[in-house]
Amino acid sequence: MKLCIIDTGCANLASLKFCCGRLGHEALITRDLKELEMADKLFLPGVGTARNVMDSLRRLDLVSFLQKNKKPLLGICLGMQILGIFSEELRQETLGIIPFKTYEFKKKDGFTLPHMGWNDIKSSHPLFKGLDGAYFYFVHSFCVDINDYSIASCEYSQIFSAAVAMDNFYGVQFHPERSAEAGEILIKTFIKDIG
């Protein structure tokens, strides 16, 4: 099983690599197209702004590869958001793989941004087998509304998509690599049972 973590230059990749290692799987951090094309499973992490990560993907000539990819891919946090068509953050067009948009959280009294910390999710999707109601670690100020591609939900000032999926593309808004046992279970399921 060849696992590749796509090095966009816009994420802390070491914690994801270490998480895979704890599960007994070596994961290669790379931006080399030949390596990525040989992968069985791909991870697309992202931190920062949608504009920064899209600029980086264009600079690395990875946009077309991602859009045409047929391997199971898991987008994490911003990596999930850029699977959509547009982000309200700096009004940025994104990869256009799954037809959803990313918006800033609705402002409500008692809720501060970013949404940071542990929160529970609701899901009956196979990616979350045994994890309905589990707590995961979130850090984000922008979110995806519930839509036809939502496979998990969470609530913080509003109900939003904690995860999406379409065909071979999956995305989670939280950081599974920082979510203790629940996160490791999810990554193990993605590696072993998805696709």
Instruction: Give 84-108 pLDDT, tens digit per residue.
Output: 999 999 899 999 999 999 999 998 9
Average pLDDT value for the chain: 96
Which residue spans within the chain are E strands per DSSP? 3-6, 27-30, 41-46, 73-77, 86-87, 92-93, 101-104, 115-120, 135-140, 142-144, 150-155, 159-166, 169-172
Quick check: 10 pLDDT over 80? no
**Nearest-angstrom CA–CA distance, 195 and 183:** 19
Give catalytic status of residue 77 as yes or no: yes
**Nearest-angstrom CA–CA distance, 76 and 79:** 5
Give catalytic status of residue 175 as yes or no: yes
Render pLDDT for 150-175 as a digit per residue (tens, 0 to 9). Answer: 999 999 999 999 999 999 999 999 99
What is residue 11's predicted lDDT score, i.e. its pLDDT?
Answer: 78
pTM metric for this prediction = 0.97
What is residue 9's predicted lDDT score, i.e. its pLDDT?
Answer: 83
Render pLDDT for 28-47 as a digit per residue (tens, 0 to 9). Answer: 999 999 999 999 999 999 88
CA-nearest of 126, 54, 125, 56 to 96 is 54
Selected catalytic residue, list 4, 19, 20, 77: 77
* Averaged pLDDT for residues 116-133: 98
Band of residue 51 on the pLDDT scale cut at 50, 70, 90: very high
